[in-house]
Each structure stands twice: as C-alpha cells, then as structure tokens.
Structure 1
Amino acid sequence: MWRRTRFTQRLGIDYPIVQGPFGSGLSSTRLAAAVSNAGGLGSYGAHILGPEEIRATVAELRTRTGRPFNLNLWVPLPGEAALTLTESEFAAESARFASARAEFGLPAPTAPATYAAADFSRQLEAVIEARPPVASFVFGPPPQAAVEEMKRRGIVTMAAATTVDEAVALERAGIELVVASGSDAGGHRPSFLRAAGESLVGTFSLIPQIVDAVSVPVIAAGGIADGRGVAAALMLGADGAQVGTAFLACDESNASEGHKAELVKPSARWTSLTRAYTGRLARGIRTPMMMELERDAEVPPYPIRAWFTSPLRKAAAKAARPERQALWSGQAAGLVRRRTAAQCFAALIETTERAWRRSAAPS
C-alpha cells in the first residue's frame, strides 16, 4: 500500500507527503500545522529567522499541531558569510536599484556589517534547543557535532541533494532522510558539492539514481503537484514526495495574494532559473523584474544581491505588484489550483489513490 513506507513509519505519520519548506518569509505556521494535522509532514522555512524567532515558531507550531513537523535551515556555503563589497562596489550596486527604490519610496541603504540574513550557528543552537520533530537542511549537512546532538535529542534530520554524490555525502554525514531535489523544483537550487548550474538533474531521472546509491529513505521533490507525481515518485523507489508550489498557492501560505494569483495563471507554465534576484540560482515565473535584472553583466553572489533586492521584493508584495516580485514556482505550476491546505492535501490523497490503482490494474 502506497501510504505505508519507511518514511511514514520513521515519523509516525499517515501519508508519505511533505509540504515543501518555503524561504523568504513565505512559510506560515498555519500551513505547516494544517498539513501535519492532515497526516503529512508540514514544514516551515526558518532561514531568515533569529534564534528567538525560531524558538517562538517551534512553540507556536506545537500549539497548532500534536503531529510531527519540520523546521528548515540553510547551511552557509564556505566563505559566504564573509563576503563583502568595497565602497565603490557598494555604490554601484546601490545605484543599480535607485529607480526601483524611488518607485516604492524606499530610502538609499547604508553598507551593513554583514550581508548574511542570520547567524547560522546561533540558529542551529536554537533548533537543537527547541527540538522540532524534524530538522531539515539545504546547501549541505550541518556540522557533524550538530548532527550527532540532534540524533541524541530525538530530532530526525533531513537534507536536500541535487546529485547522487550529494546524497551519498549526506548519508555519510549521518542524515536520516535524503530529499532528492530535481531541477523542476521552484525556489533556490540547494546544490553544495558542485555549482548549481552543473547539478541540474530532472526529478524523475534523479530519484532512482539516488535510491540506488543510499540506504536511507529518499523523499522526491521537484515538479510534483498532484497524486500522479506522488505515485510516480513512489514507483521509482522514493519513500515519500515533497510538494511545494501546490501548497504555496494555498490560502494559508504566507505568499502574497499577487504571488498566489500568478501561480494559477497560464503564464506560470513558463519559469526560468536565474541568479538575478539573490545571486544564487533559483526557479521562478518570468517577470519584467527578472528580465530587467538579467541584463546585468555581473550579479553579486548570495547573500549580497539578496540583501539589495529583499526590501524591493517586500515592498512590491505589499503594494500588490507581482511583476516586481520574485515569484518562486516549480515547473508543475500548470497543475496548481487556489484552495485551502486541507483541500489541497485531500486532492493529493485522492489523485494518488487513483493513480496507484490504475498502475496496479491488469492490462
């Protein structure tokens, strides 16, 4: 039976379905709890939160659900936290966005002490202290000592791989669940052993290769928006499926109304991978802002470009200007509908059941 896998048994959940963790403030405790309460694994992307916010988020999730949930962090890549700009480089990048700031009435920025959104080591300490049932990571595994401490405290660890080599590295690091993140997925590509542009493997090519390479349960992610994708992932050997864009469009997500509206338009079928918004490769719906930023000959790396564009993206969301936002979306957006999380989850169960029965029916 498709509902019972090593993944569901490990966590004690009813269905092998994970709600993808959304970064950039797009997650909500309402959405994560709704998915967990429905029998899946709800997730919250916490990479921009400080330690106290992480503790408060875990506490709030515990008031909303008694079922397992997942808190997600970004592991900084080597040297990333120390990246900086010279005075002239800062002035040039600031000037690049002067007209956009004026459009939204934003002041000119002053150079920060650090461009990093948060201190990862302090975030990790807060996660270990708060003890969410599941802690997941992108851009590699956390330090070995932290992995061992989380295991000691009963926190199940999960991390994303975009290649077979990354999956093997995660298992060797002691990670208990590996997310096979195909290039179909929306948002940032979480590659960590090689450049993201060199690690673009489609989800349904990636799943069986990772399943063959590791012994831990594998969760498929990328381009899965209905039960046909869930069933296909399980048939290829995955123990679960992660659904992102379909849940991002739900009422309970923290995406702006403009973002949600764009996800269900026919134009959402056209997405691109771009570094223009944040300096790190990510998939989103093509917008005038994306095309404008892609004219830049050089884009400062993450987190510098993200620091400059973040206020603009937030202002555009507040002003209901989706054409000026980063509209993260996977390649299966054409299957997405506006609905509540409970309705979305029920539809996933129904369509997975239907696809599973069809696959088992005699020809």
Structure 2
Amino acid sequence: MLNNKITELLKVEYPIIQAPMAGGVTTSKFVVEVSNSGCLGMIGAGYMTPIQIREQIKEIKQSTSNPFGINLFVPNAFKVTENEVKSANHILNPLRHQLNLQPKDSFEIPNFNDVLETFIEQIKVVSEEKVPICSFTFGIPSKEVIAELKRSNIILMGTATTVREAVENEKAGMDIVVVQGSEAGGHRGSFIDGDQESLVGLMSLIPQVVDNVRIPVVATGGIMDGRGLMASICLGAKGVQMGTAFLTCIESGAHKVYKEAILSANEDQTVLTRSFSGKWARGIKNEFILEMQNYETLLPDFPVQNTLTQDIRKTSSAQNNQDFMSLWSGQSPRLAKSITVESLIKSLITEAKKINSYI
C-alpha cells in the first residue's frame, strides 16, 4: 500500500510529502533532511524572490541527489483603493502601538502586473533549474506556464478544496492533485468555490475526489501520524502531505515560539482568520486574531493585507512574542512532537505498517 503511483511518480520511498510552508519554515537543511529520509521535501517559495529561489535550489542540490519539490502561489487579481488601505492601517495602528511600532497611514499599493511578472520569473527559475516537482496553491497557472514546465519534464501538482477544483486541476494537465481538507493549517487553497463551500472535511473530500478524477490524489489536512496516512490511503488517496507534523520537527526553520505554541495547543484553539493576509487561513488563536475578528470583512484582499501586517508579524517574532505572530496550524496540534525529521518518518512508517498488517 505504501508503494504506488505516487512513489513511482515522485521517485520517493514513501508516499509522504512535507507541506511547502512559506515564510522561512522550509530551510535547505530541513528540505534535504526530509528528502534524505525517503519522503518528498518541499520549498515553500510563495514569498521568495526568483534570486532567492535559485540560490536555495542550488543549495539543496549540493546536499542531496534525492528528489525535492517547490511550491508557488498562483497570482489572483485584486482590487484595492487608497481609502481601504487607510482604513486597514487605522485598525492596525493600535496593535502597532502595543509593539512600539510607528503608526502607518499611507502604503504603496502593489500592482498586479508586478506580482504576475514575479511569478513568471519564478517559473523561469524552476524550469531552468529543472526542479523535479512543482506544486501550485491559490489556483491553476496558465496553459503556457504548464507547457513550459512540462517541457522540462517537471511533475506538476495542483491544490484543491472541492471536487470541482480537483477536476479543473486534472483538466489543466496536473499530474497529481493535493486535496486540502478544512482541518489543514495555513492558507486555504480554494480558488473556485466560496469560502464556506470550500470547508469540506478531509475524510469526506478524499473519496469524492477519487471517484471523479483519474490522476493520483494526495490528502492533506490534520494528518499527523501513521493512522492518518493509512486512513487516507484506505479512502483512495495515494499519499499524504503533512505540514504541522513536520513544522515542529527539530530541523524545521519555524520560530521557537511558534513551535512551542503548537506543542502546547489543543484542538479547539485553531480558528480560521483572514486578518493576517487577506486570505482565509487556519492558525492558533492569539491576541491579534481576537483584536481583529470584528474587522475581518473590512480588510483588503491578499496580498495587500499580508504586506500591511508584515511589520507587526516581523516585530512580534523578533520580540519572541506569539501574540501578534501568524501561528498557522492544523486541527491536530495535540499530536505534534518535537523530534527529528528522521524519527517522525520512522514512527509514521512503523505505525502504518502495523495497521496494514491488521487490514
């Protein structure tokens, strides 16, 4: 059961993908450790410049000959007015005051064409460096982008939160679809269906997607151990993608305070918020989320809100203050452990094989 289409396509020993967590978690050392342990290490490159991406790819290639992958954010069109930005800053300034930051009024509004141009440059680097696997979140790239990557023989993975989104990924030419249940930590990968409609639980989502696509399905959302891996496979998935479980590993680049927050959290402490970035995401409830919950519908869309809160998040992190950090986490934090990547994977496989012997 653990050797299937996914292990064959990705050329890995186990059908386990380390989720591509953007924002500094997926350091080269971390990705290499995952890939060297028989799973697929992934670079979370959504916020990285093309130069940073090229540097990290080269670093990883120097440390492992095993496959690894990269994840990019598909740009979505956004509209924002100066008044909306001023209003958001007015809401955020009292929180800046708590961190001894200067209040802000104005803000240089990002241009969608610039965001799109950066994405095209990111794609160019991935293609030139021939990264074995490339995954996408927040949508499906253009036919031209898909064709360019396929010419470089790169395996493509899309993200879906509903059956409809999974079907569109298959139609577009993705080789694998990652289905994200509502339990998942971090940003929702939805791009067609509404925010509420996209909150399908993983155990409901897997078999429905499997019945409607021919490409291999990878499950993600709240999976932390061998039980989650085997449950997903029993429902028809060919593999799993795990974020929170890897995030608290010793080699992960996540901030110490962030890891501690997950390791001490309970399942009822994760909530969905769009206050940090302008996109709905699941994280551990803290003071920032509580202070902002009454304003969520008034805030600008991603990436504008994400840029507006950057100074708050960075300063909070520098001060080892979890109150204003984005503590993304899935719904199973009680199962998180502070262990090495190698120990986590050994534990996963041992448990999965034990369960398999009973089936």
Aligned residue in 2 for 1:99: 94
Aligned residue in 2 for 1:15: 14
1:300, 1:173 → 2: CA distance? Answer: 30
- Counting only pairs closer than 5 Å after superposition, residues 41-80 of structure 1 correspond to structure 2 as 41-77=40-76, 79-80=77-78
Matched, 1:335 2:335: yes
Q: What SS does structure 1 have at the residue aligned with 2:211? A: helix
For 1:85, the aligned partner's letter is T
Indicate if the aligned counterparts of 1:190 and 1:196 stay in contact, CA closer than 8 A. no
The alpha carbon displacement at 1:215 in A equals 0.8
Q: What SS does structure 1 have at the residue aligned with 2:254? A: coil
- Counting only pairs closer than 5 Å after superposition, residues 197-346 of structure 1 correspond to structure 2 as 197-267=196-266, 269-296=268-295, 298-346=298-346
1:334, 1:278 → 2: CA distance? Answer: 26
Aligned residue in 2 for 1:34: 33
Q: What SS does structure 2 have at the residue aligned with 1:193? A: coil
* Deviation by residue 1:156-180 (Cα, 9 ceiling, x = unmatched): 1001111111111001100001001
- Tell me the TM-score normalized by structure 1: 0.93
1:89, 1:324 → 2: CA distance? Answer: 22
1:75, 1:34 → 2: CA distance? Answer: 27
Residue range with higher mean Cα deviation, 302-311 or 263-272: 263-272
1:291, 1:207 → 2: CA distance? Answer: 32
The alpha carbon displacement at 1:101 in A equals 2.3
The alpha carbon displacement at 1:68 in A equals 0.7
Indicate if the aligned counterparts of 2:84 and 2:300 stay in contact, CA closer than 8 A. no
1:115, 1:293 → 2: CA distance? Answer: 26
* Deviation by residue 1:251-293 (Cα, 9 ceiling, x = unmatched): 2222111110011114354211111211111101111211111
1:169, 1:108 → 2: CA distance? Answer: 43
For 1:326, the aligned partner's letter is S
Q: Percent identity?
A: 36
The alpha carbon displacement at 1:97 in A equals 2.0
Q: What SS does structure 2 have at the residue aligned with 1:167? A: helix
Cα distance, 1:209–1:268 mapped onto 2, change above 3 Å: closer
- Counting only pairs closer than 5 Å after superposition, residues 113-128 of structure 1 correspond to structure 2 as 113-114=109-110, 118=115, 119-128=118-127
Matched, 1:85 2:81: yes
For 2:138, the aligned partner's letter is F
1:103, 1:139 → 2: CA distance? Answer: 33
For 2:326, the aligned partner's letter is A
For 2:8, the aligned partner's letter is Q
Indicate if the aligned counterparts of 1:35 and 1:342 stay in contact, CA closer than 8 A. yes
Q: What SS does structure 2 have at the residue aligned with 1:141? A: coil
* Deviation by residue 1:172-201 (Cα, 9 ceiling, x = unmatched): 100001001111100010001122322111
Residue range with higher mean Cα deviation, 263-272 or 188-197: 263-272
Residue range with higher mean Cα deviation, 335-344 or 178-187: 335-344
1:90, 1:331 → 2: CA distance? Answer: 32
Indicate if the aligned counterparts of 2:266 and 2:333 stay in contact, CA closer than 8 A. no
2:268, 2:198 → 1: CA distance? Answer: 22
Q: What SS does structure 2 have at the residue aligned with 1:197? A: coil
The alpha carbon displacement at 1:150 in A equals 1.1
For 2:108, the aligned partner's letter is P
Q: Which stretches in structure 1 are left out of the alignment for 5+ residues?
A: none
Aligned residue in 1 for 2:108: 112
Cα distance, 1:138–1:266 mapped onto 2, change above 3 Å: closer
The alpha carbon displacement at 1:64 in A equals 2.0
Cα distance, 1:268–1:63 mapped onto 2, change above 3 Å: farther
Indicate if the aligned counterparts of 2:84 and 2:299 stay in contact, CA closer than 8 A. no
Indicate if the aligned counterparts of 1:21 and 1:45 stay in contact, CA closer than 8 A. yes
Aligned residue in 1 for 2:171: 172
Indicate if the aligned counterparts of 2:181 and 2:221 stay in contact, CA closer than 8 A. yes
1:122, 1:69 → 2: CA distance? Answer: 20
1:268, 1:256 → 2: CA distance? Answer: 21
1:156, 1:285 → 2: CA distance? Answer: 33
2:353, 2:199 → 1: CA distance? Answer: 30
Q: What SS does structure 1 have at the residue aligned with 2:126? A: helix
The alpha carbon displacement at 1:26 in A equals 2.5
1:89, 1:350 → 2: CA distance? Answer: 52
For 2:95, the aligned partner's letter is A
2:317, 2:326 → 1: CA distance? Answer: 9
